[in-house]
Amino acid sequence: MAVLIGIIGGLSEKQIVNTFITGAADMMSVVLVIALARGISVLMASTGLDVYVLDAAANALAGLSGVIFAPMSFLVYFGLSFLIPSTSGMATVSMPIMGPLAVKLGFSPEVMVMIFSAAIGVVNLFTPTSGAIMGGLALAKIEWTTWLKFALKLIVALSVVCAIILTVACVML
């Protein structure tokens, strides 16, 4: 499509190639970050480290009241989202452990799905392993640290609101 657009735009072959390479260069840092994150995720899955970390987190949450369980589960998922950047990978690894834990403690498994979705959603707003964020920042030529400084207050406020809503849901459902 880039070649077709270049031809319609009246660019020479050399101009089309140079423009394409310049555009691809902006995305290379994003590709490297995503490749590194995927490598860590594969390494954790193949060594069983992901399951070990989840088991330890589940054991730490056992026996807590709903008022404590929801925000602590949110924090656990918040932290795990850095270690396992894939949403589907995180769900595959964590839900067989965290879902039954919630049921065992008398909480709704649907609330655990809400906790998972909220935590990974907030983390994906700023994590350097998010392809959408890093790709958008690279295209806009905005440094990740600049984005983080700009979005930090919003992310903290969103996290607090999520924790409150999840706590109410955990207690009521």
Q: Cα separation of 167 and 6, whole Å?
A: 54
Q: What is the structure's pLDDT at 30?
A: 65
C-alpha 31/C-alpha 34 separation (Å) is 5
3-class secondary structure, 23: helix
* Of 85, 68, 67, the residue nearest 130 (C-alpha): 85
Q: Which of 87, 121, 82, 114 is nearest to 98 (CA)?
A: 114
pLDDT of the chain, 173 residues: tens digit per residue: 888 888 999 989 999 888 888 877 767 766 776 677 677 777 877 888 877 877 787 788 777 888 999 999 999 899 888 777 778 878 887 888 888 888 888 888 899 999 999 999 999 899 887 778 888 888 888 999 999 999 999 999 999 999 999 999 999 98
- Say whether pTM exceeds 0.75: no
